[in-house]
Amino acid sequence: MYLLLLGIILVLLKYLAVGPVAHWPWWWTLVPFGLAALWWTWADFSGYTKRKAAEKIEKRKQERIERQKESLGLRPRKPR
């Protein structure tokens, strides 16, 4: 996501001819988009995306369980 944001900023700076970016070749300002595509390809291929989604779901599930316990007046046991 950061690479995509960087790419958008660089394209805007190049288009508006701001600072040293105005003198860079266009392909140099488009490199972050290619890197973002590589990152997303790797993340999908390696399972990183699914693993992060599963962790997020598990965290939300645990928070929901804790809220339900508190609303029922049940306190988690303290370890001895």
Give per-residue pLDDT as tens, 15-73: 999 999 999 999 999 999 999 999 999 998 998 888 989 999 999 999 999 889 888 88
34 domain-assigned: yes
Provide the domain count of the chain. Answer: 1
pLDDT level of residue 7 (50, 70, 90 thresholds): very high
78 domain-assigned: no
**Pick from 25, 34, 42: nearest CA to 7:** 34
| Long-range contact set of residues 69-75: C-beta below 8 Å, sequence gap at least 24 | none
Report CA torsion sign: 32, 33, 38, 41: positive
State the pTM of this model. Answer: 0.64
80 domain-assigned: no
44 domain-assigned: yes
Which residues span the domain enclosing 34? 1-72
67 domain-assigned: yes
15 domain-assigned: yes
33 domain-assigned: yes
